[in-house]
């Protein structure tokens, strides 16, 4: 390793007095930095219970774009005067200790990543929102990060992970979290329960003390019943095919993490409007069966079905690509994976980047653009034909990677018995999809969703990546210098690159370059990429040796 790069790794040089940072002072891209450039601000010096870390790499996330669009109206910082108290995006970070301060257990040169969903004394203090994030040369970790409700939110990493690999652990943890959604197998113990009697009475298995309301009275009492945060479990008994309105009303009084249990031996409504934003962000669930016990136990699978058929719907973007990669690289992968997207260039990128890995793993990979078929019905027929070629009557797993309600509706139609439909895309609260609840009940389909990740998810990704069982860097699509952060955010919104964009703050000014173009633009880096143009540690070292700028 070159002497200069080695000094950088160890932070063997003085911390400067000032740094460049992309402060957010209001809504819109015009309020990021000043005049399209980063602003120069003092480098904060850590006080007691603080630590200063250099930002080695920062991944750009669509959550950053949402923050910029909303400004002070964003739910995580609502009411904050950004003109007086700006924040800074960037929660996908790789960090190196620059000044340890008075904190024990930290030494200059130690490396960390960050679980950004920080809680301190029960209050959310998310990094990249409340706490200014990593779109800068340095990041000050305050006491809320070092001594939060879950302990320290900094996670130590070894030199086995490159900077980009480390920064991409956070989005990969969100992928992992989507396959760790545990299902309650019974009504919530000591929870709040409601029985909506539509002619089926009160079934066995309903918790003692459950509140009971007649079906005709539900709509009139909805406001009253929904107060107090809603119910943990709502049981609708005796619902028939014409009870879509009743089921929708029952969903409305369900609380966060709650389950709607349809207890009915016969046909259920085929078209019910379901707020899939609540499935994604609030973890609500719909179960159905002839008994309460059977309904809750019908489908509790979390991870992809080994040897099954998986459909990654709308998966041409950066996070969708990661779902596809995870499926192919799984210890026991599906036998077939089909990726759908409306952009041919993204599908071509998927085939080039992940096709060789799929072939090596014995996974049949297909990339389909629904617009290439004469009708939506023809496109769906082609999808189901792919599942049949894999020996399945529909898909065992469907991951919805684009925030489109119609894709969730289609997923239930495409589902095989026992399918898990994962509404992964960040659909907003109030986004209604029409779901066939009769099909959900008949096929025991589980519809789930998740947002963000937990410390244990990040630790799991670190372990897999360090052991070489996961290449987080394979999802990298573009790199750039600190001055190109705003360009990268605009490109993210426009879908410019199918893979993730990572900024290296140690490189002050380098144009955004897609990994596919590195061989042309920076040959000494491009020739060190892996098959399909995948990022490597050697390519990163070559880039840093060529472009780093720091005081010696």
CATH class given for the domain over 3-178+456-547? alpha beta
Q: What's the alpha-carbon Rg for the chain, to the nearest Å?
A: 25
DSSP-derived 3-state class of residue 101: coil
User: Residue 383 and residue 390: Cα distance in Å, rounded?
Assistant: 11
User: Residue 411 and residue 391: Cα distance in Å, rounded?
Assistant: 18
User: Residue 362 and residue 120: Cα distance in Å, rounded?
Assistant: 46
Residue ranges covered by each domain of the chain? 3-178+456-547, 193-269, 309-449
User: Residue 107 and residue 98: Cα distance in Å, rounded?
Assistant: 8
C-alpha distance from residue 517 to each of 227, 257, 497, 514 (Å): 56, 45, 11, 5
Q: Which residues contact 228 (CB under 8 A, 6 or more apart)?
A: 192
User: What is the enclosing helix (H) or strand (E) of 182?
Assistant: none
Give 331: exposed, middle or buried? Use CB within 10 Å, 0-12, 13-18, 19+: exposed
For the sheet containing 446-449, what is the strand order?
364-368, 336-340, 309-313, 395-400, 415-423, 446-449
User: Residue 199 and residue 261: Cα distance in Å, rounded?
Assistant: 15
DSSP-derived 3-state class of residue 491: helix
The maximal CA–CA distance of the chain, rounded, in angstroms, is 79
Per-residue pLDDT of the chain (552 residues; tens, 9 = 90+): 578 889 999 999 999 999 999 999 999 999 999 999 999 999 999 998 999 999 999 999 999 999 999 999 888 888 899 999 999 999 999 999 999 988 878 999 999 999 999 999 999 999 999 999 999 999 999 999 999 999 999 999 999 999 999 999 999 999 999 999 999 999 999 899 999 999 888 899 999 889 999 999 998 888 888 888 899 999 999 888 898 999 999 999 999 999 999 998 788 889 999 999 999 999 999 999 889 999 999 999 999 999 999 999 999 999 999 999 999 999 999 999 999 999 999 999 999 989 999 999 999 999 999 999 999 999 999 999 999 999 999 999 999 999 999 999 999 999 999 999 999 988 888 899 999 999 999 999 999 998 888 899 999 999 999 998 888 989 999 999 999 999 999 999 998 998 999 999 999 999 999 998 999 999 999 999 987 788 999 999 999 999 998 776
CATH annotation of 309-449: 3.40.50.720
């Amino acid at each position: 390793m070159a002497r200069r790069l080695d000094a950088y790794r160890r932070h063997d040089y003085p911390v400067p007095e000032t740094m460049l940072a992309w402060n957010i002072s209001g809504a819109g891209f015009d309020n990021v930095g000043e005049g399209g450039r980063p602003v120069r601000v003092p480098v904060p010096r850590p006080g007691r219970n603080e630590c200063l870390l250099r930002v080695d790499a920062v991944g750009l996330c669509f959550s950053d774009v949402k923050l910029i669009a909303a400004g002070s109206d964003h739910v995580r910082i609502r009411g904050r005067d950004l003109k007086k108290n700006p924040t800074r995006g960037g929660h996908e970070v790789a960090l190196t200790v620059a000044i340890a301060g008075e904190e024990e257990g930290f030494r200059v040169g130690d490396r960390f990543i960050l679980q950004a969903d920080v809680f301190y004394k029960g209050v959310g203090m998310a990094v990249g929102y409340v706490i200014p994030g990593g779109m800068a040369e340095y990041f000050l970790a305050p006491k809320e990060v070092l001594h939060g409700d879950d302990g320290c939110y900094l996670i130590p990493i070894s030199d086995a992970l490159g900077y980009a690999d480390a920064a991409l652990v956070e989005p990969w943890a969100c992928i992992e979290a989507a396959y760790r959604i545990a299902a309650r197998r019974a009504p919530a113990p000591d929870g709040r329960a409601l029985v909506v009697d539509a002619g089926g009475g009160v079934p066995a298995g309903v918790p003692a003390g459950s509140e009971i309301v007649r079906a005709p009275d539900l709509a009139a009492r909805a406001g009253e019943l929904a107060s107090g945060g809603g119910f943990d479990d709502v049981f609708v008994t005796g619902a028939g095919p014409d009870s879509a309105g009743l089921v929708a009303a029952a969903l409305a009084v369900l609380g966060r993490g709650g389950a709607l249990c349809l207890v009915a031996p016969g046909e259920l409504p085929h078209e019910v409007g379901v707020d899939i934003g609540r499935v994604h962000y609030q973890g609500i669930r719909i179960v159905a069966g002839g008994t309460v016990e059977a309904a809750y136990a019908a489908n509790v699978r979390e991870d992809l079905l080994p040897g099954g058929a998986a459909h990654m719907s709308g998966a041409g973007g950066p996070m969708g690509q990661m779902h596809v990669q995870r499926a192919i690289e799984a210890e026991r992968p599906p036998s077939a994976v089909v990726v759908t997207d409306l952009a041919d260039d993204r599908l071509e990128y998927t085939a080039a980047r992940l096709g060789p890995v799929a072939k090596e793993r014995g996974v049949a990979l297909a990339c389909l653009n629904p617009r290439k078929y004469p009708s939506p019905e023809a496109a769906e027929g082609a999808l189901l034909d792919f599942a049949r070629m894999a020996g399945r009557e529909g898909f065992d797993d469907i991951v919805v990677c684009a925030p489109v309600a119609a894709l969730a509706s289609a997923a239930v139609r495409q589902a095989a018995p026992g399918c898990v439909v994962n509404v992964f895309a960040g659909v907003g609260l109030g986004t209604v999809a029409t779901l066939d609840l009769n099909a959900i009940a008949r096929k025991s389909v589980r519809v789930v969703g998740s947002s963000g990740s937990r410390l244990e998810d990040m630790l799991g990704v670190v372990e897999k990546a360090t052991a070489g069982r996961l290449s987080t860097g394979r999802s990298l699509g573009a790199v750039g210098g600190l001055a190109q952060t705003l360009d990268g955010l605009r490109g993210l919104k426009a879908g410019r690159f199918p893979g993730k964009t990572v900024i290296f703050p140690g490189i002050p000014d380098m144009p955004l370059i897609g990994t596919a173009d590195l061989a042309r633009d920076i040959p000494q880096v491009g020739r060190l990429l892996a098959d399909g143009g995948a990022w490597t540690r050697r390519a990163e070292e070559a880039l840093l040796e060529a472009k780093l700028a720091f005081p010696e």
